[in-house]
Amino acid sequence: MDKSLDKLAVLFADVSGSTRLYEQYGDAVARRDLAACIALLGRTAAGLSGETLKTIGDEIMVAFAEPVKAALCATEMQAALRRVGEQGAFEMGILHIKIAWHYGSVAWRGDDLVGEAPVTAQQIIRLAKADEILTSKQSVDQLPPLFGGLHVIEALPAEAWDGELVIYKMPWEQTGDETQISSKPRLSAVAAEVALTLRYGERNFRIDTRNPGCTIGRGRHAGLQVAGRLTSRQHAEITLRNGRFGIRDESTNGTYIVLADGTRKHLRREEDLLAGRGTIGFGSWPEDDPGGSVSFACESCED
């Protein structure tokens, strides 16, 4: 890495749940699979001109001169790991990683990289969950328009400067051997009339091919703000993909779904499909907190 550069994009990638993996599969298997995973992430970064600065067990730290390559690397890391996992590369099954990156000022102390970029990337990754890519507003401002679908999930005091750190979630989607850098699905086989309507109080929110996603939570940056007693700031996300509506819980207390036929589902850091009609509780069953529940109606959804 050129040490004369005063700004770099610093990326951290961590394997999620590594402690549990050691407990479940034993030291030998876990160590072997995690080493193979980190090696894959390192090769992916190298292919995009990223330099691996450090690896510690289940974590890798990479630096990029160009922020766009850090963004591409983050999406390709997720896609490549999913791809090889589905092909049976790991004895422990499909591994999951969380990624955070930030473009900002840096300095060197010998071979150690210090400064705003690594400190902020470390701050961001503490908020990331499995399969997520998080970044900062400063990073997003450096990206071209092809990186669509990014949305704010949090704003908090920055550790590296006096002021606010605004954190964005970067969507990624794997289709075949390609990485799609957009939350908008390919729509060739999706009927234009497919839609999901969410109703909260007097407010309606429509998800369709023109507006293919919605974040839900009590935070001010949520697409649909829900003031439930146990609703998290960033609680859940509903996304239209290939004519189906997926709901993903991202909360502490879970997401509770009651369908019109009485079927009940409790999601905790999981994803499921929405179809037909029903009610969603964010943090508790809808009947336990009516003020924090949202009704939904799915039109023309394919089963």
- pLDDT > 90 in the chain, percent: 66
When pLDDT is cut at 50, 70 and 90, the band that residue 168 belongs to is very high
Give, for 83, the enclosing helix (H) or strand (E): helix 67-86
When pLDDT is cut at 50, 70 and 90, the band that residue 189 belongs to is very low
CATH top-level class of 195-299: mainly beta
Tell me how far CA of residue 14 lies from CA of 75, 100, 109, in angstroms: 14, 9, 24
Give domain limits for the chain.
7-180, 195-299
Q: Does 178 or 101 have the greater pLDDT score?
A: 101
> pLDDT (tens digit, 9 = 90+) per residue, 222-273?
899 999 999 999 999 998 876 778 898 989 899 999 999 898 999 988 878 8
> pLDDT (tens digit, 9 = 90+) per residue, 38-76?
999 999 999 998 999 999 889 999 999 999 999 999 999
The angle, 0 to 180 degrees and rounded to 10, between the axes of the packed helices 18-25 and 27-46 is 140
When pLDDT is cut at 50, 70 and 90, the band that residue 179 belongs to is very low
Asked if 143 and 135 touch (Cβ cutoff 8 Å), the reply is: no
Tell me if the domain spanning 7-180 has CATH number 3.30.70.1230: yes
pLDDT of residue 221: 85
- pLDDT > 70 in the chain, percent: 91
> pLDDT (tens digit, 9 = 90+) per residue, 190-215?
334 679 999 999 999 999 888 888 99
Mean pLDDT of 170-180: 55
pLDDT of residue 217: 94
Phi, psi of 260 (to 5 degrees): -60, -30
Number of H helices, E strands in the chain: 5, 22
Sign of CA dihedral 170, 173, 178, 180: negative
